[in-house]
Amino acid sequence: MTENSSTNQIKKTTSLNTLNGNDKIHRNKYIEEFVCIKRILETIDTNNFIVNRIYKDVKTYIEVNCDHSVIDDYVDLDPDNGGKPIKYCEYCYKSF
């Protein structure tokens, strides 16, 4: 990676932190991409220090930057007894 492309990556990351309310759609697109990255990292060997560090950083980024939109839903564990209520974010799928 060249120094210029490294600088561009830093600028892109910094710009994510300065988005205003009009850019929520774009911000949530980044969150969706980070959620995909997180899922991929969850399939990789967890004994690898570097992978674990990246995974923790991705989780932190999602937690800090997601504009959570909580959905009330239910899981149908036992059809005879109805469902169990759950709450989760529609963007990052964090449970509440």
So what's the pLDDT on residue 87? 96
Report the 3 state secondary structure along 1-65: CCHHHHHHHHHHHHHHCCCCHHHHHHHHHHHHHHHHHHHHHCCCCCCCHHHHHHHHHHHHHHHHH
- Top pLDDT among 36 and 18 is at 36
In this prediction, residue 29 has a pLDDT band, given cuts at 50, 70 and 90, of confident
Judged against a pLDDT cut of 50, whether residue 1 lies above it is answered with no
Helix/strand/coil for 71 = strand
Q: Render pLDDT for 35-71 as a digit per residue (tens, 0 to 9).
A: 999 999 999 877 889 999 999 999 999 999 999 999 9
Percent share of the chain, pLDDT over 90: 48
Backbone phi and psi for residue 76, each to the nearest 5 degrees, phi listed first: -85, 80
Q: Render pLDDT for 64-93 as a digit per residue (tens, 0 to 9).
A: 999 999 999 988 877 677 788 999 999 999
d(CA 48, CA 78): 39
